[in-house]
A and B are shown apart, each in its own frame.
Chain A
Amino acid sequence: MRYSETGYQLEVDLSRGNIERIETDPKLTELHLGGQGINAKIIYDRVGPEVDPFSPDNLLIFGTGLLLATPVVGANRTIVNTISPQTGLFAHSVMGGWFGPELKHAGYDRIIIRGKADGLVYLYINNDKVEIRDASHLRGKGVTETATLIKEELKEPNAQVAAIGLAGENRVYSASIEHGWSSAARGVGVIMGDKRLKAIVVRGTKDINIARPAELWELTVRLRKEMCESDGVGDWMAVDEDDSFHHNHFSWGNSRMRRRNFWSPELEDRWYNLKYDNMDRQIGCYNCPKACINVISYPGRKRFGYKCFGKDTYHMAAFKELDFSYEILGVAQEYGFDSYSTPQVIAFGIELYEAGILTDKDMPDFPVDPGDRTWYLLEKIARREGIGDVLANGIYWAARQIGNGAEAYDHNSTKKFEQIPIKLGKLNPAYFLMIATGEKMAITQIEGSFPQDPLPTREEREEFVSKWDAVPDEKFKQYFLEWEKRNEISNERTCAIVDWNEAMHYIDDSTGLCAFVSSFRGQFGGGIAYHINNIPNQITLATGMEFDKDKLWKVFQRNRTLVRAINVRRGLRRADERPPEDHWAVRDEELEQKLLGDYYEFKGWNMEGIPTKVTLDELGLNYVSEDFLQRGILKP
């Protein structure tokens, strides 16, 4: 019997209308766990570097984390991967809610989609019954509207739906896949649209078996209570109304301007009222006691939900206030737009207009107010109308298409992807490495275990490390104790810290644990629920596979290296690994390059950032090293 997983995957070819239920190899689970790990393995095996992202041969994979639908608390993430047309690289996306558990109960650990449908379709999965159905009547419909209509027509109120909106249908690069109030961003919505797949609807009523039931149950009942009461897990931003952190320190507009004194008690008060006057409740995801998602019912809008920095991105890009975000979020989510990239693309367009690079010819009747301009461009991009057709390709490509000096306004991309708008003074070595080498395209997908800043006094630091169960090695306590100035830390230590940060995300993205109870949250102290020392036991109890810290660490290294291998094979090299040039005002090229080299060495990669044969073979990735030798990527 397979525990914690179904042992089957669903393979759908939209070109041929073919649907297959394929038994999977348990050995792969042991090597990669699930979620992104196995997705990456499949993409390495089946999507060669010659495959264009818009080719029918590109795959779109919805992979459930291994621990979904078990009692393990906070395990609910579905990881969506494909090859992104924006970066040309592996696209990484994570979505919470209830979709993944439902898929497992329907009897599948993942869905692999290839090909392209002739017309718009949706996929209906009801246990063993799987159908590709016509979706032409859903063309142009919003994401929640689509979900409602489908559930009604199928008479399946308990089904879970993941859908794209107008943005995805029109292959906008910043299109997301939306499910409930959760969303999968960063390059996957555009491929779902390209495959003409409007939605996936899942209903499942099968069992998921647990290897060591009584022990796992006892443990998780206790943890659920503890996590509910703990403020060390979940999104504190859902309840902390002091948002000076983003507003005073992140950049406004096209990642342009800091407004250090923006926040005030008066503002906090006003926004507090705005939020609580319009908020219905806060909800969470499947099997999680937290409530990170603010559900807002704003006049004239459909209900919508947001979490984290998602409430600020639109109004900060438009130099507006919270009411502007509330106005636009309900519409933008319905269109299926990623709320991180989209506002930046719009602000970039506005800047080009102000600079005279784009003119009234490109933007007829362009309004004056930045809020109205944001609306104008949002509508254009969603429909790929006029200038919207160019901006829909993201800042990097739009800048090159527009030319005429527009490239200089593309100042916040790395690997052709819009980064979170942060501009700082002095170089921070760990952040340099994370932004440079991260392949999940957003800093939030790599940072998170080691604190961002040192604590001012030795006593505070001692207090911090005294309850620090999460460290993979005692040496990290030493690092933290001796850390006084943010940028004064040895390369050796920086490498180890970045590696640990990255490790936890790769583990979460294979188990399906939410980063807010694990990889992203430990940096803020307060005792994180999941870490490298206690996750192995939960894996063992749920799956029956013996797991310990070292074995789990090896899975991280294997999955991480495999993602790098996919990207290296698609051309990623050292030259691409640069944070935006103005991310820090003061840079030191020599120091940065030395650090990058040291990190490559630490990771077992050569000076181009390519994993060496020894590294690959040690992780059991011999098929990659052979491939690399054959392709001349590695020299014998």
Chain B
Amino acid sequence: MSTELANQKVRNIKVDLDKCNGCRSCEIACSAFHAKPKYSSINPARSRIRVTMDLLNDEYVPIRATDYTKAGCDGRRTYTIRGKEYSECSFCGTVCPTRDLFKEPDSGLPLKCDMCEDEKEPLCVQACPRGVLTCEEIDAVQEEVKLDDMELGMRSLIDKFGSKKVADTYNRMTKKG
């Protein structure tokens, strides 16, 4: 499995914040592409990319929905970049309860960027007129690391509680969903 992953390429979207003009074409494109039938409706609230904007702070940051989490993180640090203060949330793609972002408006279920895998280029990248978003292929090493991370985490749990307890807990939790 790990040798397979090493050769596998995944998409990555790079973001050049300085070029963004706040047009939100990326949001329009993502929501149109995921509509059924394709392009039949527009709704930025369904988009898996959102531009967080704070005009007074000259902040225009497109972020993509990544993972879902039940609880907000304890981070929310602020960073100052060239005199402008950014909240950590401005760069975070996690769907978390502390903000109203990346939740499907009808069901409230989390949205997640699927990288438009079937398309030659992600739709948001295609629609971004100003070259803020560019797509590149990178080795899927991150995935591998992630698995290792999980293995590591599991290992530490097993070390701490023993494998039976971890297995019981796992079964209980997955049953409950």
Residues of A within 8 A of B (CB): 69-71, 73, 98, 101, 105, 144, 148, 155-158, 180-181, 204-210, 213-214, 216-217, 221, 224-225, 227-228, 280-291, 295, 297, 302-303, 305
- Other than A282-B21, A302-B56, give 10 A-B pairs with Cβ distance below 8 A: A71-B32, A98-B24, A158-B101, A213-B32, A213-B37, A214-B38, A227-B129, A284-B21, A287-B28, A289-B130
Distance in Å: Cβ of A278 to nearest Cβ of chain B: 12
Binds A, one of B5-13, B40-48, B66-74, B133-141: B40-48
C-alpha gap A156/B25 in the complex (Å): 21
**Contact A281-B58, Cβ < 8 Å, known A287-B24, A289-B25, A289-B130:** yes
Interface status of B55 (Cβ within 8 A of chain A):
yes
Nearest 8 Cβ contacts at the A-B interface: A289-B129, A205-B45, A213-B39, A205-B105, A228-B129, A207-B41, A217-B39, A213-B40
Q: Using CB atoms, name the residue of chain B closest to A69.
A: B42
Distance in Å: Cβ of B133 to nearest Cβ of chain A: 13
B23 touches A180 (CB 8 A): no
A224 touches B43 (CB 8 A): no
Pick from B50, B60, B101: contact of A283, CB below 8 A.
B60
C-alpha gap A144/B54 in the complex (Å): 11
Contacts of A101 in B (CB 8 A): 44
Contacts of A158 in B (CB 8 A): 50, 100-101
| Majority secondary structure, A binding face | loop
A216 touches B39 (CB 8 A): yes
B41 touches A208 (CB 8 A): yes
A295 touches B39 (CB 8 A): no
Contacts of A302 in B (CB 8 A): 56
Interface status of B15 (Cβ within 8 A of chain A):
no
C-alpha gap A205/B28 in the complex (Å): 13
Bits for B89-130, please: 1 = Cβ < 8 Å to A, else 0. Answer: 000000000011100010000000000000000000011011
Contacts of A225 in B (CB 8 A): 129
Q: What band does the interface of chain B fall in when counting residues whose beta carbon is under 8 Å from A?
A: 35 or more
Q: Using CB atoms, name the residue of chain A closest to B18.
A: A281
C-alpha gap A217/B32 in the complex (Å): 9
Contacts of B20 in A (CB 8 A): 281
**Contact A208-B42, Cβ < 8 Å, known A144-B55, A221-B127, A228-B129:** yes
Contacts of A295 in B (CB 8 A): 55, 58
Contacts of B153 in A (CB 8 A): none
Q: Using CB atoms, name the residue of chain A closest to B105.
A: A205
Interface status of B162 (Cβ within 8 A of chain A):
no
Contacts of A227 in B (CB 8 A): 129
B43 touches A289 (CB 8 A): no
C-alpha gap A533/B1 in the complex (Å): 58
Contacts of B54 in A (CB 8 A): 157
C-alpha gap A216/B35 in the complex (Å): 14
A224 touches B42 (CB 8 A): no
Q: Using CB atoms, name the residue of chain A closest to B24.
A: A286
A105 touches B23 (CB 8 A): no
C-alpha gap A305/B55 in the complex (Å): 9
- 20 contacts across the A-B interface (CB closer than 8 A): A71-B28, A105-B43, A105-B45, A148-B56, A156-B100, A205-B105, A206-B105, A207-B41, A209-B40, A209-B41, A210-B40, A217-B38, A221-B126, A228-B129, A281-B21, A281-B60, A283-B60, A286-B23, A295-B55, A303-B58
A105 touches B41 (CB 8 A): no
B56 touches A287 (CB 8 A): no
Distance in Å: Cβ of B31 to nearest Cβ of chain A: 8
A291 touches B21 (CB 8 A): yes
**Contact A207-B25, Cβ < 8 Å, known A217-B32, A224-B127, A228-B130:** no
Distance in Å: Cβ of A99 to nearest Cβ of chain B: 13
B22 touches A283 (CB 8 A): yes
